[in-house]
Structure formats: C-alpha cells, structure tokens
Chain A
C-alpha cells in the first residue's frame, strides 16, 4: 500500500502562490502521488523498493502523466520540495482549495511539487498521501503477520521524529491565508498535519489489520479497534500489509517519503510527522489529521482525508481576469459575485476545465457532467438575478442554435454582428440592439446590460413562449383517510399541516387550492359555498375514475380560506370511525389530476398505507422480497423497480398537463415507494418519507416540509434545455422530470431544491485555449403568473492536459454523478455489483491519475489527486449507505434512491457522509459557525460515553446519548434526569439554559443550511435506535464493509493490480 494520496492539497496554504499558478496554470494538473504502503509482499522491500519503484513506475507510467502535463518533473520537484516546501506547500494548497482545509497536508505535497517544479499544477492536483507511502510498502510486507505488530508500534516513534515536519506545517499554516480559510489556525495546522497523517493512514494499514483480524486491533492500541491481529491476517491480504506498514512507517515509509519520492511524499511525510505530534485527538476530526497519538508508526486514521467544514464565509468571483474560477466546495459557505459565469449554485461541472478531446476524457475516467439547479437559492448577500425585458421581440437569440444572448457571444464587425459561442454562427445584430465596440473589443454597453455581463439572467418571455396563458398557481391537497391513516394520526397531522400552511400560500387571485380525501373512494370538497356545512362529493368508482365536473373544487385561496380551515379541522373527526382499510392512491391521484387538468399545478398527496385498491394498486412486495431472500438475492433489486407501468403511464399524462405530484408518505408500514415514487419522479415532484410515523414528533417536520414545499421559490409548467458549445453534446439528463422530446425536459414543477444532472459526450475536439460554454435555459411560469426564461451560462477553458483535469475536478459534482449512478444502479443490478461499480469508478480515476500523472511516484504509493482526495471516503460512505446496504428495509432503500436524483448539490455529500458534532460541550465552543464546523469523523472512536452527539444528513437528525452522560447535561438539554426518561418519540425542546439555547441555535442553523426541518430521533446505545446511529459510522469496520483505512488499502491494491 503505498501512498494514499488523499489529496487534500492544502490548497489554502498554497493559495497565495498557488492560485496564480493555476490560472496561469499550464501546470495545473496537480498530480498528487501518494505513496501508500504496498499491499503486496512485493512492496515489502520497503524503502529500497519504493525508491526503485518510483523511479521505475515513472518510466512506465510517465508516458501518461507527461501528456497530462503533470508528469515527472513535478513530482520530483514536489518530492524535493517536500522537505523544504512545506511552507510553500501549504499556501498553495490553501489557495486552490479554499474550501477544503483538510487538504492541508496533501497540499503541502502538492504545493511543493508545484512550487518547485512546475509550480503548483502538479501539486495542487494531487495530494499525495505521502505519509501513507511511508507506511506502506516495505514495512508492510515485512511485518506481514502477527509479528509485525510490534514493529509497527515501533515505527510510530519514528513518526514522531518526523514531527519535526509538523513544525513545518505550522509554518505553513502560518500563512495568513491558511488561517483565514481555516477558521482556526490551529486547526489548519492540524489539518495540514492531517496530510502527513495520511501517510500514517497508509500506515493505516494497521487498521487494515484490524479489519482483517480483530487481534490486530489490539495491536493498534491507538485505533479504537481492539481485535487481535492474528486472525485478521488470513482474511485480508492486508494484514501483511499492516505489518509492512509498521516497519515501513518506522523507517521506510518515512524515509521513502522524504527521500525516495521526495517530491510528494517527502513533503507529506514531513508534514505527517509534524502533524502527528501536534494533532490533538480532537483535531483528528479534521480530515487530514491522522491519529498520531496512538501509533505513530501506523497511519493514523484521524489523519486520513476528511472533509473540513469551512467556518468562514468566502467570497467567490465566478470569473477573474477572463478566466473561470474554480468554485468553492458546495458545502461551504460562500458568497458569489457573478462576473460572467453563473453562480456555482446554478451550474457546476464535474471538472472546471473541459478536456479537448473525448479520448482525454475517457483517459481520465471521470465523467463530464453538469449539475444544474436552475432556481437555486442565492446567498442573501448575493446580488439577485436580474430580469431583462426585451419587449415585444423577446430575448435575443442565435438564429441557428437558438442559444440565448450571453456574455460570451462575441460582437464583431463594429458590433454589427455577433458570433454565437455555442454554435459559432455569425448573426446580425438587430438594429435596436446595436452598440459600438470599445477599444477592448467589448460592447460599450456590456457592463450596463446584465445579459452581457452576468452569467445568469432572467428574460421576460413573450407570447411566443406561451401555448396558453400562464397557469395559475394551483395547489391540490389529497389526503389519505383510510383506517390506518386515521388511527396513526397521519390524517390529523396532514390536515393540521395543510391548515397552517394555507396562510403561507401567496395571496392573490392566481393562487388556487383544492382538497380531496380518499380511502377506497375519493372525496372531493366543494369549497365555494356560502353555506355552513362543507359539501363532500364522493367518487366511488375507482376502477375508472372521474372527477366531479364542478367548478368549485379548485377555487382561489382568498375565497375559501375559512371554509378550508373549517373543513380541515373537521376531516379527522369526520372519518374518525372510518373502517375502510383500503387506499386507492392511484385512482385518487388520477381523479385529482382530472380536476386539475385544465390548469395544471401541484398535487400534494399524503399517503399512509400501501395502495391496495383501484388503479395502480400494489401488493406487499416486501414480504415477497423477504421470502425470496432465501431463494437467493438475485432478483432482489427488481423490488426497487416499479411493479408495472401503470403509474408511469399516468405520470406521463400528468406531466403533459403540467401536474406536479409530491408524495408525503406518512406511514408505519410498507408502502412500496419504489412504485409510488415513479409519479413524483416523472412529474418533477419529490417523495417525503416519515417512517415510522410518530404523530408526536413528526408532525412538526411534516408541517415544515409542507410549508417549505409550497412557499419556496418555484416555477410551473417549465421546459428546460441545456445547450453547449460545439464539440460536446448533451448525452443524458438525470433528475425528476418528464422527457418527451430528446432535447428538452418537461418540468411540471421546478423549485429551488431540485437539481438536474446533465452528462455530456464529445462529438468533436476543442482547441486548446478556447472555452467550452454551457447554457441552461429554463422557461417557466412564476408563482405570480409571469412567464420567464432563466438562462445560466458557464464557460470553462478547454485543456488537453490530463493533469489539468484532475486539478480542476470538482469532488462535489463528481460524487453527485457517482451517487446518482449508484441510485440508478441499485434498481437494475444486485447490490454487490453496484458496490463494485462505484468502487471501480473510484479506482479507475485514481488509477488513471496514478498511471498518467504520478509518474515518479513509487508503485507502492496510493496517490490521490488533491481535488478529489475525498472520493474514497465518500465512496466508502456510499457503499455503506442505506441504499447500498443489504440490511435496509425495501422502502427505505427505495426512498433513498428516490431522494437522490433531485438532490441539490450542497446536500449530496451530507446525504451519504453526514455531519456529526458533539453537543454536550457546545457551550465550550465558540460561535455558531465554529460549533457547526467542529465536526467529528464518523467513527465510533470519537463517541464518548458521557457525550451527546448530533448527526444530521439534511433529512434526519439523530441524537446519540452516551450511557453515562451527566445528569446535569441531560437536565439542561432534555429536561430529564436519566437517559431512560427521555421519551422515544422525541421532540427537541428549548429550555432556559445556555446549553439548550446553544443546541437549538445549532439545530436551527442546520435547518437553515439544509432548507430542511430535520427529523429528530433519539438513539441510545444498545437498542435498535443505537444500531441505526452506528450504521452511520461509516469509517468503522462494519459487517457490511471495510473501515476507512482498510478501504484505502483496498483501493490501493486495486490500483496496483491494474497497474500490472
């Protein structure tokens, strides 16, 4: 195992010097070569081998890298820099990765390379896990089995020796930039230190041992894992590795790092060592931080790359100096200034430089894809998107490709013509749009016209863009009142939520509402009655539904508010004694659809039980699934597919008539989300899932979800198309929508939380130095009935250097691709296969990087490009997520899969890699930001028995309460004296004390960040809820998967195998 280059280039540090380099960036491709402990025995010959390997590989590999531009030189440079560079490195790293402090250490590596050789490029791109390399190779091999254990320990001390480097880091950190980025300078250091730890991590193989054998665990005292080594060894080839690492770490890795691959490794090791010592356990959280404390010799798991939340707001200009800027991490807090490219919230590409050729793209093994979130919420301090009215003529468009006018259209011929940046067509400028060009070749009025200077603008649509008058905002509520729904309180909760939400509906005659309930029949309500009593219209025939042809079913909200409230109040009691068990979901939505057909609108369905009757009725496949388990899991994935096409066909019809369906599943049983979710998926809606529903604790979330659903910025009857420069073409759209013609997607409803992934493929080549433009045009009707076209533009430079691609890769988007791929995958292939696929996705990328960009590094190192050094962690978390776990309930997995496609990019990572913070010590932390940013790695190791922890993924919020939490804290937070006193149906209360206030502040801040109310659940050790909590501890070894360190080792092996 060699270096994991978990590249978290400490971009921040690098920043000062770094950024410029990038920009200038011939160098850009950051090749991080992390040398990892070599898994195979071959590597055993630790140092010697390493060195040779490095050299050797380069020859072979170099070819690749060179092309990438990253090649040899950098590495060497890096290597050399390693030692000296540390200072330089950090800055570099920091710069490029403003958002990702964790990278720190790798950065160092990178920066070093970059600085030295070709400047940052190489370095930045890949953050070699230098430390790992140290650990890796030789040592591992040697120690292989049990014996080694001791050695490893031994080695640690060496690490400590390295500590020296840590100082280096500190120095690095020293740079103000670093500090800024990393809220806490110290942390920075730690982080940086992290990287070195990375190496340790490699050493981590030690962990591997743990994995392999419990006994090994013991060996690793530091690591939480106690298990003995012995047993472990056999299962995993890794065990030997462990051993190797240990020794390695001790002498070899370190040395190797420094010496042999002085470039990357050297740096990192140094850093590692440095960090090692400094890194306090707590600090460990920081991604990079390795667990120095325990075993210096091993890779410290705490130093493996982990996301480090940025705690300060960053200001981001989308373009600087006529160059696209790499966007900050999606999860960080930033403020965008639109200087030509649209905000990364609106569009974000997997790589911020576009490969010139398809070959280059496929070589990189990365997908070229765009995450589009056309109505994404801006940061409040950002300039709002400007509305441009072209009057009668409508927005100016290219007459050939129909692309909309944008800042990248080039005006020529004194402004009389303009050249489309998408198709290259030379258009004539309309007379009334003519303007002279300035000396710089730009139109003189460019800065006054938003469409010529902003990446995102909104055009007022003319009649030409309407097939009919813009539709009113119609909200139709459909509530399940079958017996179970009533008994569980789902109906009451839904009614109360709707009732409270009515006030949040936009006022005005254009907002219309309607309501219906259903069990085995559908009940509509006449809302427009001067009379006292509501009128219920029952449609009993659910085989072939119809709708009361009554104009009073859907009425302007202003006219019926009172009736509606009264009705909602009485619905639960009206059906109080309902004995109907069946629920005709399919028929009900069909009937409601028929009522809405003339206008379209949003249909919000509150479903509580398995649709058992009527159109599209479903059977309890869960039980089928269970019985099938015995016969083999071969077909199990089919249960994640819709049962049949009935609902799909219906959904397409809905979409045609602009009806968007959101389904709130409020249940305590199986509902077959796989089938039900087809409807929202096709109509641009989404599924909400409350399982197991508790009327006590879930009502608030239901209300908040509903409120946000109807009050968030959104549009209706939308059509979206993404255009791009000639050279690439749209391959596929992924998300919740209906597609009827190949080029456009229909979105009956689109809101600020919905994203669409667009993948591209090359159909031609780009010239180096040109830019590839993407334009997303969304034609929609606002809630106030205006027809608008929102146009977002993103223009990225093209490159022919593979290294540049890696350097410019965007982990968030990349992972979003992977996540969607996995979500689709689990519906069509067995889980094991999907897990393998995502693993391959990961491995292929690193392999490509290793092969072509990390020329010099030794084969024994795992090298991770800095920009995507977190990919292994996320991949691991993904493979342990609900969707990919074997033990998850069918519905939970279906929900998981249905949740993914529209997931907005800031929520992608949390969805699989949740955020965990401790809350028992909240008052000790600084302000809110730092409270939130002091996240803990998802490992049980970081849980203390006397602590309370909060873990949230944007949807659920779990509170884990240790067994021996002090009464005082319990009293302050929960108002009870003992853990057992907390009710299972948990509701977070605010008590009058600082801790409780602080906790509520934190929770509210999370809610704000996630635009989600969060489902609060209480987890106690030792019962199922505790199991649930531990299932999120993705870095730990679990029955279903490897630990993080093991995983890294595993990846490294895979790469090794491929290399051969």
Chain B
C-alpha cells in the first residue's frame, strides 16, 4: 500500500511503518520513530457519532476497532492497557450484529460530536480530555488565577452558539497608502464576516488605542501607554470588562456593557467609521523609527479577548509595518543608527532586546492558549518587524505568520481572505480550541511534538524522559487547527522489553476541537503498526517512508537550529545521513563505487542535500524574521508541502512535449523553455531567454503563434493552481532568464555548473561555493563505505 494512500485514510505518515522493539535497534536506524499527524485531514466516509465516546477507565483510550469485545458479558478489552471495561447501559443492545460505528474495522478514525454542555473544556466534567486537563499542573495553576471558572454557573452565552472573536490590531505608523490598502482589506473582510462574529479594533503607534465600537455619542477610544506592561487583569479593569471574582456574579456581566468587542451586526457602522478614521499619526523624527508599541497592543488585545470572550476562541490579528520600538516586546531602538538585530547578533548573544522580547512573547503564548486565542501576524514591511521574537506564540497558537512587502500585495490579501473563508454561508471554516491527546501501547513512550502546539505537560507514564520539541506530556494544545495543520510526534520504545510484546503496537490520537458551527468534536484515530521481528530485520526497510523521514528530519533539524549554530546543525545532519546510508546502503566496505541504495531509500540523501542548503538550516542569508517565517511554515505543513519546501519542484514547458518535471539542476535552465519553479514560498515562472525575447516582440499576441501562446498560458495556469489554496500564499515571480529576479530559482538549483566548472555554452551558471549534488553524493558514498 502506498504511504500516501494510507495517509489519506488515516491522516498519518510514519517514517517507519515497522518499528524495532528495542531502544538500541531504534537508535541504529537513525531516523527517529515518529509520525506526522494531520489531525483534521478531510477523510472520506468519516463517521460522525453524536454521542460521547466510551473510554477505557484506566488509560482513557476510546473504544476502537482494535478492542476485543465480549458481547455476552458486555465487556471490551482495551488494546492499550488490556483492561476490561463494561459497556454502559446505553450500549445494552450491543451484539456482534449490532456494533457501534467505532468498532467497524474500517473506522479506525471516527469523530464524535460531543454534547455541547459547556464550551469550556476546562470545566466539562466528564470528558476524557478533561481528566487529563485537570491533572495538568501548568494550566490549572494559571487558569485558576485568571479564569473565573464559572463552574457553578456557566455563562449564559453558552446557550447560544459560541462565536469566534476577531481583534484587528492595526499599526498606524504605516505609511498612509499602506494604511489605506490595509483598511480596505479589513473592511472587506469584516463586511463578509458572519453577522454574529465578534470584532474588535485596536490600533497602535506609540500608544495603544482600543476602540470602543459600542459608543454612539462620539468616537471613543481607550488609550494605553505603549511603554508599560500591564497585567491582563489590570487591562481588563481599566477597560471596565473585568470579571467579577464573586461566583455569584460570575455571570456574563462584563459582556453586557462593554463596547470593545461586539457582534458585527451591532457595530458595523462604528467599526467602519473607526477603521476609516485611522490615520498615520506617527511623529517620528528624521532618522528615527516611529514609536511602535506592538507588544502592548498585543497583550492588550489578549486581555480584551480574555475579558470579553472568555472561552470561545478568537484571533488577534496584528497588522504591522515595522519593528516594535517601545515597551515590552520591543526589538529595536528608535534610532536608525542602531540597527535591528541580525542572525549574527542572535548567535553571538548580542541581541539583548531579542531575548527580552522573546521572554515576553513566550509568556504571552501561555495566555493565548489558555483562552484558545490565535495570534496572527501580518507583517508587511521592507524592514523586519520582530517576527522572530513573536514566533513562539504565533506558532503554538496555530496562527499565521505572513511576511510580505506591502499591504497592497496579493500575498497579503490572499492570506487574509483565506483565513476568513466560509465553510457555509454563515459560518467560517475555523476550528478553535484544539487539544490533542495520545494514547499508546505501554512500550511506546512519547518524546514530544514538533509543530504548532504547546505541551500541556501532564506528566504521565506515556511521556518519555527524553524530550524533543514540546515534550513531557501526552497531550498538547493549540488554539486553532486547519485541515492541513500537521504535527510531528517523536516516540521512543520502552527500554527493556522483558516480555515479548505482541506483534503490533497501537497509537491512538484524540483531537478535541470546536468546530466552526460551535459544536465540540472529538476525532479519534487509532493506528496499529507492526513491531519488527528480530529475526527478520528487513521489515524495517520495507516500512520506510523516505518522504516522511525527510520531513521529520527537517523538523528535528529546525528544532535543533533553535538551540545550536547553523553549522552544527548541518554537521549533525551530515553525520546522521552518513550513519543512515552506512546502515541501509548496500556496499562493499571501502569501495564507494559499489554503493547502492534500495529504491525506497534512494531519494533520501537528495532530500537531505537540499535540506542542508535550504533556508531552514542555512540561515545566514536571511533575516531572523524570514527564518522564523520559513520555519513556522515548515512546522505546520504536511509531508507533501514540506517536501516542496525542502526540495523545490521544477516543471519544464517546452515545444518538444507536454510539461514535464525537470531536474532541479542548473542544466535544466535553457533558453527555449519556460520553467515553473515551486519552492513553496516562491513560485517562479522563468522564461528562457528566447521565449522572453519572443514575448517581448509580441509574438504571443499573434494568432499564428498559438503554440507559444499556449505554452505561456499553460505555465501561468499551472502556477495559479499551485498558488491556489496555499497558505501562506507564495509570491509569484515572473522573470526572464538572466534577470535579477531569476535568483529566487537559481539559488535553489543544484549548482552543477558554477564559476568553477567548465563553462558549457548556453547553460546557466550559478555563482556559488556550494558543492553540487553530484559531489555531495560522491562524498557521501565514500564516507558511508568507510564503516
């Protein structure tokens, strides 16, 4: 079975589909035991069960097809812990001819529609997830102080369908034209929001303006000083939206009078007026950056959402065009002579502001996730804005990080509109408040998650001591999930397997989230994989998924790059690759030429080659912001998307045949073809010099040259198709051979022809010191065979 078909059924990609059962064997196979999980992948025939799942009383795993069921005694045996669970009365009629959907063998993934008793996951009494939540020290401690926990009296709002809230945080230091474009976009988006969506508007320059949208007498804004960090409670108090501590008054009192966050239907006029009245108010001195209180704006918005929309999820959408220069989260001085931090500063520990800002935003992440708030950053600026510092909350909350050059750019508009895509006429396609919990066979320990989520740190027996990424837990939280969001989980097999385990192991993924229609759902996927029989080690190889492996390695590499110098990460990748090839290659020792790889492994070294050259690892040519942007995208993308990022795709459009994939090599660049290059972030239509010339001469407009016209058309259409639906939207670049814009493509091609090689007439030459793929592989072979 093809790995991608399996993925389509389960939403899972396993680098290893068969696992060695001992820790040492696992270490020997180099690529970690792991899985790429796409929680909300649209699955065909996904059953939606309108009841609560049956959970194992011991390990909390839900009932699944792998459970053994004893119909006569109405018991089921949990495949994970082998505990016996009785069926409750509701399942009284269970029999072999009458089984619930989750027991159907084909339904390894089912979705439960949970009764909407209480939208607050922290307080719903009976759910499996909740038990795990309540044992989570990290959150309970903080929530108890911040959230009123209306256990005794659930907010009346719970009756109506919860509505997401959107706070638009607008930087008014943007140039006037930029601001105009931005305002138009925002207004457009808001006009298309479902009527009951809550919206808020916060603008900031040197101060933070929270616009009161419910005040009719005049335009009213509440100001916060941009250089002071205030606690959420304080902000809420100052806004007059603080919750009453007294449980008796824990009703939605604050929701009644405040005008900062209102349904679109109630405040559209005011909102529009307020947005239209935003003007560039910065008074920066020449040679200085304007004062931007981005940090305070964000924390204020957080407090606002916390206060007004306690548990229904929301997005804080920050639109900025420059770095924060004042208050918490500040990343640059106002004086232009003091440059904003560079990669080198960060590596060398010279970025004092960077560390401080990072701390600030890390704390913010906790708050965001407590309330299921999403932090989106739209940075449209030629300068850096401090995205690197803000990355953590953005990533963990599942938000979008978009870097563009201007608010007028298509990229920006696409992304923004994409977020507000409607699922149905009055409903956004937006899932909030997700928690993912894993249950595994006891031999399998969880090291951590790599991707847009935050560990809930509920230490239990399933969590391994070894932590990778967000570890130390068996459950994670993120504020929002898209159908594409993918998270990598790293596992470890139990230390000593005294008693031989069964032939298979199980992992159950339970994702609980709030659907766009307000319902709470739980999607449970139960997967089983084989243990590798010691006697037949080849099984490991047959289960190898090199694409998933490359993706995982990329994520692991990026995660390491947060802590280590880029050079060390490359060295580490190389070392791992050498060990990997030495392990799985077929060769005669000391004979590089005898080196062979199995078909299932053959592309892996090439992936690694491109990975180590990619912007994810080789960061020195990028600003910290860009790096953050790339890495955030990588960490949330599934296997296919990740592969494009690692190894771009190249299509060739020529007169000699239909479009065909071309080698990602400089040799593919020829004058008479159009190349469509896709590196995920950039889509380049590259016209060979001849074609460019023809086009310049207007041949394509001539009816007689239908071929040329069709060729150009085909490339355009394919490019459109690539861009469509991809978020963050790639930048489409049309360029001619030898033009400056071609660099976006050339930089990623295998430099088979450089200034050092012999010049072949007509071929493209790349000026670089990087080794070419051929050299790299040769080297690899020679190292691998050394043993």
Q: A574 to B215: give the CA distance in the assembly, Å.
A: 9
Decide if A535 is an interface residue (CB 8 Å cutoff).
Answer: yes
- 16 inter-chain pairs at a CB distance below 8 angstroms, sorted by A residue, are A521-B222, A531-B219, A533-B218, A533-B273, A535-B219, A535-B277, A537-B221, A538-B212, A541-B230, A541-B238, A546-B207, A546-B223, A548-B207, A567-B218, A570-B218, A573-B217
* In contact, B218 and A535 (Cβ under 8 angstroms): yes
Q: A548 to B239: give the CA distance in the assembly, Å.
A: 16
Interfacial residues, chain A to chain B (CB-CB below 8 A): 521, 523, 531, 533-541, 544, 546, 548-551, 567, 570, 573-574
The closest CB in chain B to the CB of A573 belongs to B217
* In contact, A538 and B221 (Cβ under 8 angstroms): yes
* In contact, A540 and B223 (Cβ under 8 angstroms): yes
Q: A537 to B281: give the CA distance in the assembly, Å.
A: 14
- Contact-residue size bin, chain B (C-beta under 8 Å from the other chain): 20 to 34
A539 partner residues in chain B, CB cutoff 8 A = 222-223
The closest CB in chain A to the CB of B210 belongs to A538
B774 partner residues in chain A, CB cutoff 8 A = none
The closest CB in chain B to the CB of A548 belongs to B223
B234 partner residues in chain A, CB cutoff 8 A = 541
Q: A537 to B206: give the CA distance in the assembly, Å.
A: 14
B76 partner residues in chain A, CB cutoff 8 A = none
* In contact, A544 and B218 (Cβ under 8 angstroms): no
Q: A551 to B281: give the CA distance in the assembly, Å.
A: 9
* In contact, A533 and B219 (Cβ under 8 angstroms): yes
The A-contacting residues of B in range 171-229, CB under 8 angstroms, are 206-207, 209, 212, 215, 217-225, 228
A551 partner residues in chain B, CB cutoff 8 A = 283
* In contact, B225 and A541 (Cβ under 8 angstroms): yes
Q: A523 to B240: give the CA distance in the assembly, Å.
A: 14
A550 partner residues in chain B, CB cutoff 8 A = 281
Minimal beta-carbon separation of A532 from chain B (angstroms): 9
The closest CB in chain A to the CB of B227 belongs to A546
The closest CB in chain A to the CB of B234 belongs to A541
User: Contact check: which of B206, B218, B238 meets A540 at CB < 8 Å?
Assistant: B238
Interfacial residues, chain B to chain A (CB-CB below 8 A): 206-207, 209, 212, 215, 217-225, 228, 230, 234, 238-240, 273, 277, 281, 283
> Given A521-B238, A548-B207, A549-B207, are A536 and B221 neighbors across the interface (CB < 8 Å)?
yes
B222 partner residues in chain A, CB cutoff 8 A = 521, 538-540
* In contact, B220 and A536 (Cβ under 8 angstroms): yes
B217 partner residues in chain A, CB cutoff 8 A = 570, 573-574
* In contact, B221 and A534 (Cβ under 8 angstroms): no
Closest 10 CB pairs of A and B: A540-B238, A574-B217, A546-B225, A538-B222, A536-B220, A534-B218, A535-B219, A533-B218, A533-B219, A539-B223
* In contact, B207 and A536 (Cβ under 8 angstroms): no
The closest CB in chain A to the CB of B237 belongs to A540
Apart from A533-B219, A537-B209, list 19 A-B contacts with CB within 8 A: A521-B222, A534-B218, A535-B220, A535-B277, A536-B215, A536-B218, A536-B220, A536-B221, A537-B221, A541-B224, A541-B228, A541-B238, A544-B225, A546-B223, A548-B207, A548-B223, A567-B218, A573-B217, A574-B218
> Given A531-B277, A550-B281, are A538 and B207 neighbors across the interface (CB < 8 Å)?
no
Minimal beta-carbon separation of B260 from chain A (angstroms): 11
Minimal beta-carbon separation of A626 from chain B (angstroms): 33
Q: A539 to B221: give the CA distance in the assembly, Å.
A: 9
Q: A531 to B276: give the CA distance in the assembly, Å.
A: 11
Please classify the interface of chain A as helix (H, G, I), strand (E, B), loop, or mixed, using the class held by over half of its residues.
Answer: loop
Q: A573 to B240: give the CA distance in the assembly, Å.
A: 20
B277 partner residues in chain A, CB cutoff 8 A = 531, 535
Q: A548 to B207: give the CA distance in the assembly, Å.
A: 7
A523 partner residues in chain B, CB cutoff 8 A = 220
Minimal beta-carbon separation of A575 from chain B (angstroms): 9
> Given A541-B238, A546-B207, A549-B207, are A535 and B221 neighbors across the interface (CB < 8 Å)?
yes
Q: A275 to B259: give the CA distance in the assembly, Å.
A: 80
Residue among B224, B225, B230, B283 with max Cβ neighbours from chain A (10 Å): B225
* In contact, B207 and A534 (Cβ under 8 angstroms): no
Q: A549 to B206: give the CA distance in the assembly, Å.
A: 8
Minimal beta-carbon separation of B171 from chain A (angstroms): 15
Q: A521 to B217: give the CA distance in the assembly, Å.
A: 17
B283 partner residues in chain A, CB cutoff 8 A = 549, 551
The closest CB in chain B to the CB of A574 belongs to B217
Minimal beta-carbon separation of B447 from chain A (angstroms): 45
A534 partner residues in chain B, CB cutoff 8 A = 218-219
* In contact, B219 and A540 (Cβ under 8 angstroms): no
B225 partner residues in chain A, CB cutoff 8 A = 541, 544, 546
A544 partner residues in chain B, CB cutoff 8 A = 225, 228
Q: A546 to B224: give the CA distance in the assembly, Å.
A: 8
B220 partner residues in chain A, CB cutoff 8 A = 523, 535-536, 538
Q: A539 to B215: give the CA distance in the assembly, Å.
A: 16
Q: A573 to B217: give the CA distance in the assembly, Å.
A: 8
The closest CB in chain B to the CB of A567 belongs to B218
Q: A549 to B277: give the CA distance in the assembly, Å.
A: 17
Residue among B207, B209, B215, B218 with max Cβ neighbours from chain A (10 Å): B218
Q: A546 to B326: give the CA distance in the assembly, Å.
A: 15
A537 partner residues in chain B, CB cutoff 8 A = 209, 221, 223
Q: A535 to B224: give the CA distance in the assembly, Å.
A: 16
Q: A567 to B220: give the CA distance in the assembly, Å.
A: 13
The closest CB in chain B to the CB of A529 belongs to B277
A549 partner residues in chain B, CB cutoff 8 A = 206-207, 283
Minimal beta-carbon separation of A615 from chain B (angstroms): 15
Minimal beta-carbon separation of A518 from chain B (angstroms): 13
Minimal beta-carbon separation of A944 from chain B (angstroms): 55
The closest CB in chain A to the CB of B219 belongs to A535
Minimal beta-carbon separation of A200 from chain B (angstroms): 69
B239 partner residues in chain A, CB cutoff 8 A = 540
Q: A533 to B206: give the CA distance in the assembly, Å.
A: 23
A546 partner residues in chain B, CB cutoff 8 A = 207, 223, 225, 228
Minimal beta-carbon separation of A515 from chain B (angstroms): 13
Minimal beta-carbon separation of B223 from chain A (angstroms): 5
B223 partner residues in chain A, CB cutoff 8 A = 537-540, 546, 548
A540 partner residues in chain B, CB cutoff 8 A = 222-224, 238-240
Q: A544 to B225: give the CA distance in the assembly, Å.
A: 10
Residue among B217, B234, B283 with max Cβ neighbours from chain A (10 Å): B217
Q: A538 to B234: give the CA distance in the assembly, Å.
A: 15
Minimal beta-carbon separation of B275 from chain A (angstroms): 13
A573 partner residues in chain B, CB cutoff 8 A = 217
Q: A521 to B222: give the CA distance in the assembly, Å.
A: 9
A548 partner residues in chain B, CB cutoff 8 A = 207, 223
A570 partner residues in chain B, CB cutoff 8 A = 217-218
A535 partner residues in chain B, CB cutoff 8 A = 218-221, 277
Q: A534 to B220: give the CA distance in the assembly, Å.
A: 8
B230 partner residues in chain A, CB cutoff 8 A = 541
Minimal beta-carbon separation of A729 from chain B (angstroms): 48
Residue among B206, B223, B281 with max Cβ neighbours from chain A (10 Å): B223
Minimal beta-carbon separation of B727 from chain A (angstroms): 36
Minimal beta-carbon separation of A255 from chain B (angstroms): 83
Q: A546 to B223: give the CA distance in the assembly, Å.
A: 9
A531 partner residues in chain B, CB cutoff 8 A = 219, 277
Minimal beta-carbon separation of A831 from chain B (angstroms): 44
Q: A573 to B218: give the CA distance in the assembly, Å.
A: 11
Q: A550 to B226: give the CA distance in the assembly, Å.
A: 13
The closest CB in chain B to the CB of A575 belongs to B217
Q: A550 to B240: give the CA distance in the assembly, Å.
A: 24
Minimal beta-carbon separation of B405 from chain A (angstroms): 29
Residue among A537, A538, A573 with max Cβ neighbours from chain B (10 Å): A538
Q: A551 to B217: give the CA distance in the assembly, Å.
A: 23
* In contact, A536 and B219 (Cβ under 8 angstroms): yes
B207 partner residues in chain A, CB cutoff 8 A = 546, 548-549
The closest CB in chain A to the CB of B239 belongs to A540
Q: A1034 to B85: give the CA distance in the assembly, Å.
A: 99
Residue among B215, B238, B277 with max Cβ neighbours from chain A (10 Å): B238
Q: A574 to B218: give the CA distance in the assembly, Å.
A: 8
The closest CB in chain B to the CB of A546 belongs to B225
A521 partner residues in chain B, CB cutoff 8 A = 222, 238
